[in-house]
Amino acid sequence: MEIRVVNNNVEKALRVAKKKLAADGLFRELKRRRFYEKPSVKKKAKLREAARRRQKWLAKRTFSR
- Give the chain as a 3 state SS string: CCCCCCCCCHHHHHHHHHHHHHHHCHHHHHHHCCCCCCHHHHHHHHHHHHHHHHHHHHHHHHHHC
What value does the mean pLDDT of the chain take?
A: 90
Q: Average pLDDT of 14-24?
A: 92
pTM: 0.54
Is the separation of the CB atoms in 13 and 4 below 8 Å? yes
The pLDDT of residue 38: 95
Burial code of 11-35, b = ≥16 C-beta within 10 A, e = fewer? Answer: eeeeeeeeeeeeeeeeeeeeeeeee
Q: What is the pLDDT of residue 4?
A: 85
pLDDT at 62: 84
